[in-house]
A and B are shown apart, each in its own frame.
Chain A
Amino acid sequence: MARKISMKQAINEALDQEMARDPSVIVMGEDIVGGAGGDGERDAWGGVLGVTKGLYARHGDRLLDTPLSESAYVGAAIGAAACGMRPVAELMFVDFMGVCFDQIFNQAAKFKYMFGGKAETPVVIRAMCGAGFRAAAQHSQMLTPLFTHIPGLKVVCPSTPYDTKGLLIQSIRDNDPVIFLEHKNLYGFEGEVPEASYAIPFGEANVVRDGKHATIVTYGLMVHRALDAAATLAKEGVELEVIDLRTLSPLDLDTVLESVEKTGRLVCVDEANPRCSIACDISAQVVQQAFKALKGPIEMVTAPHTPVPFSPVLEDLYIPSAAQIVAAVKRTMAGGRQ
């Protein structure tokens, strides 16, 4: 039965249903149960924003409150995955991944390749990402490009509660390491989600709006900015096609190419910093594979090449806006062939 729940509830429900379905699923992280873990307060926290709240009551000690050491428990999760468990490790913020890069980049991502395809590492590493939460430079980054760069990792960044539940379930069932990034400013965003379990396969972009004049390719929170821009431009008779990549690795380039072949114009929108971003990657691949379809220059709308500012005024300017997307569409529409 479909009913409306928030993205935060969708994460909780996916974890709950997968823990009920498969006893090898465990969840680890800082404060995901009760923080300090005093008697009678074990379920007090449910994570820094309450995402895992209530799960301890149903699944008990399969939820592990860990010490404040990402390098230790992410390593432990990866080791447990290599030994047959399906751990979901939660880092509060993707910004903290830096302290466990060796475990993720050199170990988890490479086991299958280095052990002749015989080793599986079914670990999920969840973390909040993105700016707009007034949490300053060390808690606000969009680091999707870093993980997408590494062969052996799968990278997910959903935009709706429906996709969040289905993609998290797929992440848990998948036999490879998955980096699952949740935009914290979408946690309260509500949408229709079936109560039953379902998995959305990786590598299938979602065309969230059909259009014929230009294609927007994006993911995460920026999907909503792109839809705002599309609504604005529709009043001027410009119909945007908006593609939500959903998974950055594997990447559904076919859907992007099909759309660009129809519209001839492309705007890549990425909340990440501009250099070596998802926007750069998509732009380069489209130029390489569909150059003849392009009627005008590809535009990119990204964050600037700076850390995320703590000043609210500057932070709001830092995040790509619907107005910037509208302006970029107009630039590409004005240039090139008609």
Chain B
Amino acid sequence: MATAGITPIVMPKWGLEMREGTIAGWLVDEGTRIEVGQPILDVETDKISNAVEAPDPGLLRRRVAKEGETLPVKALLGVLAEPDVSDADIDAYIAAYEVPAAGEGEDEAPAFTWTTVDGIKVRHARRGPETGTPVLFIHGFGGDLGNWLFNLDAIAEGAPVIALDLPGHGQSDPRLPGATLADLAGFVAKFLDAIEVPRVHAVGHSMGGAIAARLALDQPSRVASLVLVNSAGLGGEINAAYIEGFVGATSRRELKPVVEQLFADPSLVTRQLIDELLKYKRLDGVPELLQALSASLFAGGRQAEQPALALEGSGVPLTVVWGEADQVIPAAHARQAPPGAKVKVLPGAGHMSMMEKASDFNALLRGHLAEC
């Protein structure tokens, strides 16, 4: 496929289950000079929509994919080439382009592993280089490691990444080791023992942020640095209606308006996303454990603990990222971060800022890791 001077832009693979994407619209015109990381077109998958970021710099000569088209992963979306490449060469390149066969085996076989910790089976994913301090991703209340689908592969290009389904979440066993932050942080430490990882950069979203902060306080030697994303543990307020709605919803119709509160743009919530959440919530034991967690951590619309506030003076490098339009935990909590923390509030993002503004988030996380 290598043709002198021509760089293809192809359909990315977001998460393990993505097979194809639909072009929602181009964000740049032909003739635009593109920089690495610049959002160039919007793609919808059956899970969520997101912007494709340019993996290479160059002059956009051709928009091959048309709006509304559904194309497989690695299909040709556009062509970058300098002005000295002729249109005929570009036409020939497009005509000759073949979508590489879906990577059977290449990145699918060892997608997830299960490790038993204290009798609870934990699903986790591990990618990236063999060496270096791994980046551990901890999702929030009712979430799973799929919440990081736009981040894991991007970060794994430069550092080893580990993401887990917390006990009682995702495809880990539907049981809890206890319902306090200390119980969950202790469990995460035992999980790291079980997979023989002594020390991590911990990235926690929402409740996962509070767990990461608790872990840094309880076992400082394990946490090289912290990134807290729309995090619990930095203040008292939390949207009680969201928590109650999420715990109580038993049907698609009830759950959809609740989940829409997670995003600045509610149209990002697809039927698939709701269906997968319902499949999780319908497992025996899950409604009860969500109830137990919310009663322990968020009773009466207040967060019971603020471990991240106690990080002051701990010396742990800390970055705090927030979506400005967060409807679950107010973005104002970002201002309460301990002195010395790097704080970034992203406009146009809600509670799931790492999904909604994935490119900005990934850049911040890369910057944080580079400084640690």
Contact = CB atoms under 8 A, between A and B. Distances in A.
Contact of A166 (B114, B173, B253, B282): B282
B171 A198 contact: no
B48 to A, nearest CB: 14
Question: Which among B114, B121, B173, B283 has the highest number of chain A CB atoms within 10 Å?
Answer: B283
Contacts of B271: 207, 210
Interface in A173-231: 194, 196-201, 204, 206-207, 210
A109 to B, nearest CB: 26
B251 A196 contact: no
B123 A198 contact: no
Interface in A148-193: 162, 166
B251 A201 contact: yes
B84 interface: no
Interface residues of A, number: 16
Nearest to B68: A237
A1 B282 contact: no
Nearest to A169: B284
Interface residues of B, number: 17
B70 to A, nearest CB: 8
Interface string B251-266: 1110000000000000
Contacts of B250: 201
A196 B174 contact: yes
A145 to B, nearest CB: 26
B258 to A, nearest CB: 16
A200 B282 contact: yes
B284 A1 contact: no
B123 A196 contact: no
Contacts of A166: 282
Contacts of B251: 201, 204
A204 B252 contact: yes
A68 interface: no
A2 interface: yes
Contacts, number: 32
Given A197-B284, A201-B251, A207-B271, A1 B279 contact: no
Given A1-B114, A210-B271, A198 B121 contact: no
Interface in A248-293: 254
Interface in B102-127: 114, 121, 123
Interface in B319-357: none
A150 to B, nearest CB: 25
A197 B283 contact: yes
Interface in B272-293: 275, 279, 282-285
A196 B283 contact: yes
Contacts of A162: 279
A198 B283 contact: yes
A196 B252 contact: no
Given A196-B284, A197-B283, A2 B252 contact: no
Given A1-B123, A1-B171, A198 B114 contact: no
A159 to B, nearest CB: 14
16 contacts: A1-B114, A1-B121, A1-B171, A2-B171, A166-B282, A194-B171, A194-B279, A196-B174, A196-B283, A196-B284, A197-B283, A198-B282, A204-B251, A204-B252, A210-B271, A254-B253
- The list of the 10 closest CB pairs from A to B, nearest first, reads A197-B284, A198-B282, A198-B283, A196-B283, A1-B171, A204-B251, A196-B174, A207-B271, A198-B284, A196-B284
Interface of A: 1-2, 162, 166, 194, 196-201, 204, 206-207, 210, 254
Given A1-B114, A206-B275, 19 more contacts: A1-B121, A1-B171, A2-B171, A162-B279, A166-B282, A194-B171, A194-B279, A194-B283, A196-B174, A196-B283, A196-B284, A197-B284, A198-B279, A199-B282, A199-B284, A200-B282, A207-B271, A210-B271, A254-B253
